[in-house]
Amino acid sequence: MENVLADLINLIGQNMPEIRVVDEDYGQLENLDQDGNWMYPLAFPAVLVEEQETAWSNMEGLNQKGDTSIRIRLLIDCYDDTHYTSGTLGKVLERIQMVSNLHKLIQGHRVSVDNESNDGVLIRTRSRFYTGNHGIKVYESFYTTTITDIISVPERKKIATIRIK
């Protein structure tokens, strides 16, 4: 699954230069409120990618097919005053455009991986938007895709049956 995360991180990093941090999600946003925990600083805007869960089913031999859920969070610091008379209402539209651009990049993307084949494209299944601590706006989207994990099975040597009389 690390290959899926690496593919998405590269895709976003290469196509959205305005994003300052594109990384695997390992709790960076939640760590903002943790004193004493050392973590790389989080610069905004940021995109954090996390493989949430894969439900596997067996195929032929040791091969498996999995339905994978991926969470992608776009984090934007909202320090601009955007009320009606502020003159900066356009900042809201800029954020919405960034959300739209990210979705258009991911929706329908076929993940490229080494030892797995991707049978489907990424499809958004749900999304939500909320404001976290420190004025961080979080645009969270969940995508699913199907991957196949192919394990080559070594040929087994047949052992002659010995019968003792």
- In the 3-class helix/strand/coil scheme, how is 63-115 assigned residue by residue? CEEEEEEEEEEEEEECCCCCCCCCCCCHHHHHHHHHHHHHHHHHCCCCCCCCC
161 vs 69, higher pLDDT: 69
Predicted confidence (pLDDT) at residue 49 exceeds the cutoff of 80: yes
pLDDT tens for 123-157 read 999 999 999 888 899 999 999 998 888 886 656 66
- Is 61 part of any domain? yes
**Among 101, 89, 92, residue whose Cα is nearest residue 18:** 101
Report residue 152 as tokens. 């080559």
Tell me the residue range of the domain where 138 lies.
2-149
- Pairing mode of beta strands 116-118, 136-149: antiparallel
- Is 83 part of any domain? yes
- Is 163 part of any domain? no
- Is 46 part of any domain? yes
**What does the angle CA 155 – CA 113 – CA 106 come to, to the nearest 5 degrees?**
150
Distance CA 12, CA 129 (A): 19
CATH code of the domain covering residue 125: 3.30.2000.10
What does pTM read for this prediction? 0.81
- Is 44 part of any domain? yes
- Is 164 part of any domain? no
Report residue 55 as tokens. 């439900």
- Is 71 part of any domain? yes
pLDDT of residue 2: 62
Whether 9 and 16 have beta carbons less than 8 Å apart is answered as: no
Q: How many CB atoms within 10 Å of residue 56?
A: 12
pLDDT tens for 77-132 read 987 666 677 777 788 889 999 999 999 999 999 986 554 555 679 999 999 999 98
Q: Could you give the number of structural domains in the chain?
A: 1
